[in-house]
Amino acid sequence: MGSVTDFVIQQLINGISLGSIYALIALGYTMVYGIIQLINFAHGDIMMVGAYTGWFCTTVLKLAFLPSLMIAMVLSATLGMIIERIAYKPLRKASRLAALITAIGMSFFLEYGGILVLTPQTRTFPAVFPQTVYNPIGEITFKYGDIVIILTTVILMSLLQFTVKYTRVGKAMRAVSFDKEAASLMGINVNNTISVTFAIGSSLAAAAGVLIGVYFNTINPLMGIMPGLKAFVAAVLGGIGIIPGAMLGGLAMGLIESFVSGIGFSTWRDAAAFFILIIVLIVKPTGLLGKNIREKV
């Protein structure tokens, strides 16, 4: 019985660490969708840019984890705003399909632009944390890095919640999400609010990219594809457009992946994510925290 308990607790620790990363990426998807109803498929590739920025800061500039993380977040936030202004803003009044195709095109542009500039080789992320392994009870182990990943995620999520609920920018974001035209009539700059939303989402994706580098120790120009898709699944699972739903969905995805790997089906862990998406869309299309709303006509 003890070994079963140890196994469950161990997978919970692994799942929460991985799920925290997915939650950070999913937040960017859900924020952008909540504001302009766009699935930004380039989001995972912005995460890749953040990971490479963190790698450059730690290997070439020899910076510590925190300044590297902050630089990666600022650079990716700027990139997110540039992409929004160049690629998405001209399509604000176009069909959703046109914006979706543009997002896919931007994703390919970042991926293969990354291969061209950074070369396709996989790079090793340096050990930015002490390789301390804690063994509190039984066979349960967790690393110093796991603690930092979870703490970083909790801090960033708390800051996001505070920003959205209590700051002027957050109130503007909620107003634009609810009704763009009414928000504009009330004096809110809708375009700037959308740009800020992209900046915040992209900075969270960059943080996730650095944490993925720390967690898996390797990065490459195509690394954003699978985590980006899984984070999208997490956002849908929790309820797309709902911030707490993205957090819940990300943690759920990490736990499911961890338990699937833990019981010996590691080759099926990616398939499990998309199987869950199919089940959710069949049973509850609005997600775990989503509500059915009537379409306005």
Q: Which of 157-161, 166-170, 263-267 has the lowest mean pLDDT?
A: 263-267
> What proportion of the chain, given as a percentage, has pLDDT over 70?
96
Q: Is the pLDDT of residue 295 over 50?
A: no
pLDDT score of 297: 38
SS3 of residue 133 by DSSP = strand
User: Which runs of consecutive H residues, i.e. helices, occur in the chain?
Assistant: 2-36, 43-59, 65-83, 96-118, 144-166, 168-178, 180-185, 190-216, 225-238, 243-262, 269-283
Q: Which helix (H) or strand (E) holds 260?
A: helix 243-262
Does residue 199 or residue 278 have the better pLDDT?
199
**Each residue of 252-283: pLDDT tens digit?**
888 888 888 888 777 888 888 788 778 877 88
pLDDT band with cut points at 50, 70 and 90 for residue 296: very low
Residue 209 and residue 54: Cα distance in Å, rounded?
A: 8
**In contact, 249 and 237? CB cutoff 8 Å:** yes
**In contact, 76 and 49? CB cutoff 8 Å:** yes
Listed residue (146, 141, 114, 154) closest to 130, CA to CA? 146
pLDDT score of 115: 93
Burial class (CB in 10 A: 0-12, 13-18, 19+), 271: exposed
Q: Which residues contact 197 (CB under 8 A, 6 or more apart)?
A: 31, 32, 35, 173
- What are the distances in angstroms from CA 109 to CA 20, 81, 105, 115? 27, 16, 6, 10
Q: Can you name the CATH fold of 2-283? A: ABC transporter involved in vitamin B12 uptake, BtuC (1.10.3470)
pLDDT score of 138: 66
CA end-to-end distance (rounded Å), the chain: 58
pLDDT band with cut points at 50, 70 and 90 for residue 81: very high
Mean pLDDT of 103-131: 88
- The ranges assigned to domains in the chain are 2-283
**In contact, 189 and 97? CB cutoff 8 Å:** no
Q: Is the pLDDT of residue 2 over 70?
A: no
Tokens 């790698």 correspond to 55
